[in-house]
């Protein structure tokens, strides 16, 4: 074992471990912590986790929150494991807004705060800031979770408030928000249009947008995550 290169240990062995074991492995030493925190490791670990034997579903009701293994052969669920909310809120106080590779963007319904939450290691990150970024209003705002070309997880937050319309991106790597322009028809940002949550595919976030009244305009709006342009 002493002759094994560190690259072999990290990228051929640790990238195949469950997420909880990867979290525990970070405490082995500073070198392992740094290696397991790199974007390359995260990207490879995610790609190797996306196999049918690793797929799980998160079930939330008024009393419990649990993870259950998906049995693809029988289209059934396996045994469940209880998940404890690390942010000290009841189950019905949490809304899931977007998800990607096991990472969830959620809203705490009592405080309106946005959080990134990984239920497997029960780690989370608050996205709210003193200057009012990272707060979500149901039926007015919309969120999309995505990964850019540098494998950085980001949150697109479209805010529609009284007299305030804006688009903001949260950069996880630098833990900050930035306003970006909405260069298309501004009326799509008005409360007269309903937006779906963002669906990430092939470097693009897709939203369905429709007018609130019957027979109104229906569109698909795309957000290119690398150029940060809407169309």
pLDDT at residue 98, rounded to an integer: 92
Is the pLDDT at 151 greater than 90, yes or no?
A: no
Q: How confident is the model at residue 88 (pLDDT cuts 50, 70, 90)?
A: low
Is the pLDDT at 164 greater than 80, yes or no?
A: no
Is the pLDDT at 14 greater than 70, yes or no?
A: yes
pLDDT at residue 207, rounded to an integer: 95
pLDDT at residue 63, rounded to an integer: 67
Q: Model pTM? A: 0.75
Is the pLDDT at 60 greater than 80, yes or no?
A: no
Q: How confident is the model at residue 188 (pLDDT cuts 50, 70, 90)?
A: confident
Q: Determine whether 227 is exposed, middle or buried from the number of CB atoms within 10 Å of its CB (0-12, 13-18, 19+).
A: exposed
Contacts of the segment 20-23: beta carbons below 8 A, 24+ positions apart? 20/120, 20/121, 23/121, 23/123
Is the pLDDT at 90 greater than 60, yes or no?
A: no
Take residue 73 and report the two structure tokens written for it: 């052969």
Instruction: With CA atoms as reference, report the closest residue to 196 among 148, 154, 141, 146.
Output: 141
Is the pLDDT at 31 greater than 60, yes or no?
A: yes
Take residue 55 and report the two structure tokens written for it: 């797929």
Average of pLDDT values for 82-94? 71
pLDDT at residue 134, rounded to an integer: 92
Which has the higher per-residue pLDDT, 127 or 5?
Answer: 127
């Amino acid at each position: 074992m002493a002759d094994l290169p560190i690259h072999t240990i990290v990228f051929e062995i640790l990238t195949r471990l469950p997420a909880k074991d990867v979290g525990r492995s970070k405490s082995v030493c500073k070198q392992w912590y740094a290696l397991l925190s790199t974007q390359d490791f995260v990207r490879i670990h995610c790609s190797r986790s996306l196999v049918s034997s690793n797929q799980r579903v998160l079930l939330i009701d008024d009393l419990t929150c649990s993870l259950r293994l998906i049995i693809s052969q029988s289209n059934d669920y396996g045994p469940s494991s209880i998940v404890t909310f690390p942010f000290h809120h009841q189950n019905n106080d949490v809304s899931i807004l977007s998800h990607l590779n096991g990472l969830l963007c959620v809203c705490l319904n009592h405080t309106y705060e946005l959080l990134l939450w990984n239920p497997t290691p029960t780690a989370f990150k608050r996205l709210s800031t003193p200057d009012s970024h990272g707060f979500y209003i149901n039926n007015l705002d919309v969120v999309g979770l995505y990964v850019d070309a540098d494998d950085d997880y980001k949150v697109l937050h479209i805010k529609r408030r009284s007299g305030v319309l804006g688009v903001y991106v949260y950069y996880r790597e630098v833990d900050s928000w930035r306003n970006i322009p909405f260069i298309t028809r501004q009326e799509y940002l008005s409360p007269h249009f309903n937006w779906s949550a963002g669906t990430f595919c092939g470097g693009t976030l897709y939203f369905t947008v429709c007018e609130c009244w019957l027979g109104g305009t229906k569109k698909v709006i795309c957000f290119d995550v690398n150029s940060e342009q809407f169309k």
